[in-house]
Structure 1
Amino acid sequence: MAKATRWRNFTRSEAFSGYVLVSPTAIYAVLLLAAPLATIVAFSFFKDGYLTVIREFTLQNYVDTWSDPVFRAILLRSLFVSGMVTLTTVLIAFPIAYYISFNVSRSMKSRWLFLITIPFWTSYLIRVFLWKVILGYNGVINSTLDIVGLIDQPLNMLNNVQAIVVTLAHAYAPFAILPIFVALEKIDRALLEAGQDLGESRLMTFWRVTLPLAMPGVVAAVLIVFIPTIGDYVTPQLIGGGKVPMVANLIQARMLDLDNKPMGSAIAVSAMAIVTLVSLLFLFLNRRFLRVQK
């Protein structure tokens, strides 16, 4: 009887109503996110058979993965490329977000944000192809430089790390601008005026007040850009021409080309673990930075 009463009270509580509201999203996340991830983790501990997966526990996949110099080299390249993309994107996004927040009138801010979201109107794949056209052998840049007489022969701007960084930085710039803008908008302008009234220069006010208060947005931008770019498959394949493979390309080769799903799963899980550690390290360093600023 007591249990029935407690259950009746629980079903009438606000907590139960909240669970009911979030349950469709939770079920969706479990089915489409957690279940595939659990499958990948499980496959990484199975053995590979010819055109089949042998469901016997083993750690050999991880041993082979981390003892493979090709995997280590590609993982380091992926971390470097993703780090360069993140740094480039944030350095470009912060001044844009700062200008919109502090220099654009309130009535015009929505229009600027609208313009920033225009790249989302087209497919990510189309944007990558456009950069291939721009940077191509007979692309826009080479054609323009040839017309003005600055080059005698076309420059090779594809199939390298720089082209991948430029393409990914452009693709993920809006993802970095928006969270930084939101963080800057939340800053009380009276704090900045107080700092300057106390004799601080605009540069020192920015360093001691604006930047620390905007760090939540910067952290969000870094994570939003870093995590997906390290696992990007399309850009290294199209812009890099398959000559600058990253982790996602290696996973695709193991799982599909070689039909070794356990090995591909082990590489995927290893990459996710490294990304998690790097992200946690960044969050730790960010906290240390904010403590020093205080």
Structure 2
Amino acid sequence: MTAAALGAAADTPPPARQGRWVRSEEARGLAMISPTFLYALALLLLPVLTVLAYSFWTQDYLDIDRTFTLENYRQALTEPIYRDLFVRSLWISLVVSVATVVFSYPIAWFISFHGGVHRNLWLFLVTVPCWTSYLLRVMSWKVILGYGGVLNTGLISLGLIDEPVTSLLYNSNAVVITLVHSWAAFAILPIYVSLQKIDRTLIEAARDLGDSRMRAFFRVTLPLSLPGVVSAFLIVMIPTVGDYVTPRLVGGKDGVMIATAIQTQFGKGANWPLGAALSVTTMVLVSLAAAVVVFALKFAVRRIR
């Protein structure tokens, strides 16, 4: 018997040890989660692989030419219209994510530290807007920001303006406002959970050692709640880039985002390969932007401490 065979034989567990492992708690746990894990993996991975495969093909009238090509990516990265949409989409998603986290953090902090016995009631009120349809929430902001909407009517009644403001709707600002409101609850909850896990004695120790309330917040509360902040940021940023309903309803021509172009290619444009290439490019750009922002956020908090 060769040395390699002897080594392989030595590394092979004896049958008795294999039998014990099969009957162990670890093996039974893996057997229980494996079907669910494989099912979830298939649901998540197969659609992405399908879109990735389409991005390397071309549309030949009503048929798909499966010859490998990078033409779709060339169009996605070099066409000025798509470059502008990528930049605008990333900028809007970043602004929405930052604004949502900034507005959500004080609410989550208040519920966590001062909610008291009414904490569950506050959380219940936070989730109330999610009871209605997402489309209905977007349409409500169209009514609020419209030319004859609630905001213009109120400002005229107070004498602050003489005629309705036309710049409130059908622009990128309207998209940002609507998306911040729509995703606020999804940012408040992870931040709240992260704040709830903070040991209050650490904050008391910082105060006893001479830190002011503000300094204790930046040195203790904010760094320890950073996982919730990062989660909230990613929860908001990733879906907003792919939102095409809100830009279509309240954005107008100045609020169009890349998701609208993708939806057009998969719909009226009937060019699935180009739409797939735009989708893959968007996923890559969003991942890179999210990684940069998360790293910058951690670095800023570290510098503050």
Q: Same fold (TM over 0.5)?
A: yes
Quote the offset at 1:291 in angstroms.
4.5
**SS, match of residue 64 in structure 2:** strand
Q: Where in structure 1 are there 5+ consecutive unaligned residues? A: none
Quote the offset at 1:197 in angstroms.
1.1
Aligned counterpart in structure 2 of residue 265 of structure 1, from 243, 263, 276: 276
**SS, match of residue 239 in structure 1:** helix
Alignment of structure 1 residues 167-246 onto 2, 5 Å:
167-246=178-257
Q: Distance in 2 between matches of 1:11 and 1:93?
A: 48
Q: Distance in 2 between matches of 1:8 and 1:38?
A: 38
Aligned counterpart in structure 2 of residue 151 of structure 1, from 151, 161, 164: 161
Instruction: Tell me the number of residue pairs that the alignment of Structure 1 and Structure 2 aligns.
Output: 293
* Pair 1:165–1:11, CA change in 2 (3 A): same
**SS, match of residue 288 in structure 2:** helix
Determine whether 1:44 maps to 2:55.
yes
Q: Distance in 2 between matches of 1:195 and 1:74?
A: 47
Matched to 1:98, the amino acid is W
**SS, match of residue 53 in structure 1:** strand
**Residues 236-256 of structure 1, C-alpha deviation per residue, up to 9 Å, x if partnerless?**
011113542101101112221
Q: Contact conserved, 2:262 with 2:278, CA < 8 A, in 1? A: yes
Aligned counterpart in structure 2 of residue 254 of structure 1, from 265, 273, 279: 265
Root-mean-square deviation (CA), in Å?
2.1
Percent identical residues: 47
Determine whether 1:112 maps to 2:119.
no
Q: Distance in 1 between matches of 2:150 and 2:14?
A: 73
Q: Contact conserved, 1:212 with 1:293, CA < 8 A, in 2? A: no
Matched to 1:119, the amino acid is P
* Pair 1:193–1:51, CA change in 2 (3 A): same
What's the TM-score once normalised by structure 2's chain length? 0.89
Quote the offset at 1:293 in angstroms.
5.3
Matched to 2:138, the amino acid is V
Q: Distance in 1 between matches of 2:165 and 2:15?
A: 77
What's the TM-score once normalised by structure 1's chain length? 0.92
Matched to 1:200, the amino acid is D
**SS, match of residue 278 in structure 2:** helix
Q: Distance in 1 between matches of 2:28 and 2:301?
A: 38
**Residues 127-184 of structure 1, C-alpha deviation per residue, up to 9 Å, x if partnerless?**
1111111111221112222333333322221111111101000010011111111111
Q: Distance in 2 between matches of 1:152 and 1:12?
A: 80
Q: Contact conserved, 1:75 with 1:246, CA < 8 A, in 2? A: yes
Alignment of structure 1 residues 80-91 onto 2, 5 Å:
80-91=91-102
Determine whether 1:55 maps to 2:92.
no
* Pair 1:131–1:103, CA change in 2 (3 A): same
Greater Rg by CA: 2
Quote the offset at 1:272 in angstroms.
0.2
**Residues 65-123 of structure 1, C-alpha deviation per residue, up to 9 Å, x if partnerless?**
11111111111101111111111101110111111111221x21111111111111111
Matched to 1:167, the amino acid is T
Q: Distance in 2 between matches of 1:71 and 1:33?
A: 26
Q: Contact conserved, 2:172 with 2:254, CA < 8 A, in 1? A: no
Aligned counterpart in structure 2 of residue 21 of structure 1, from 17, 25, 32: 32
Q: Where in structure 2 are there 5+ consecutive unaligned residues? A: 1-12
* 1:93 alignment counterpart: 104
Matched to 2:122, the amino acid is W
* Pair 1:247–1:142, CA change in 2 (3 A): same
Quote the offset at 1:50 in angstroms.
0.5
Q: Distance in 1 between matches of 2:151 and 2:32?
A: 52
Q: Distance in 2 between matches of 1:233 and 1:3?
A: 59
Matched to 1:104, the amino acid is G
Q: Contact conserved, 2:238 with 2:286, CA < 8 A, in 1? A: yes
Q: Distance in 2 between matches of 1:4 and 1:199?
A: 64
